[in-house]
Amino acid sequence: MAEKNVFEKIIAGELPCKKVLESPDFLAFEDINPKAPVHVLVVPKVSIKDFNAITPKLSSDINAFILEVVQALGLEQKGYRLVTNVGNDGGQEVPHLHFHILGGAKLTWPKLH
């Protein structure tokens, strides 16, 4: 059996996190290296490598959960950025589907080069 990645360890309760919201299928928690005043990660509790492997049902369900998280964070009116990275060139560091919710300040677009 392959070693668990950091998100799988968090989901299993083997590593601590600052939970924002949890459902039977998803977990939202604060990023340990925030890039904005509010930086929360949303992960499915099942192992999915990245957005390329998402199913329409999972996409619909995680989108609904993300909207719940956004409301819990109070970001729906002021705005936020929602990001998922895919693969090495896309900046994905953990091979487990996850979305970044960034907000709490006016965000600038990152310079890629």
Catalytic residue, candidates 39, 96, 98, 113: 98
Residue with tokens 């956004």: 70
Is 113 assigned a catalytic role?
Answer: no
Contacts of 63 (CB under 8 A, 6+ apart): none
Q: Are 96 and 5 in contact (CB under 8 A)?
A: yes
Residues with a catalytic annotation lie at 98
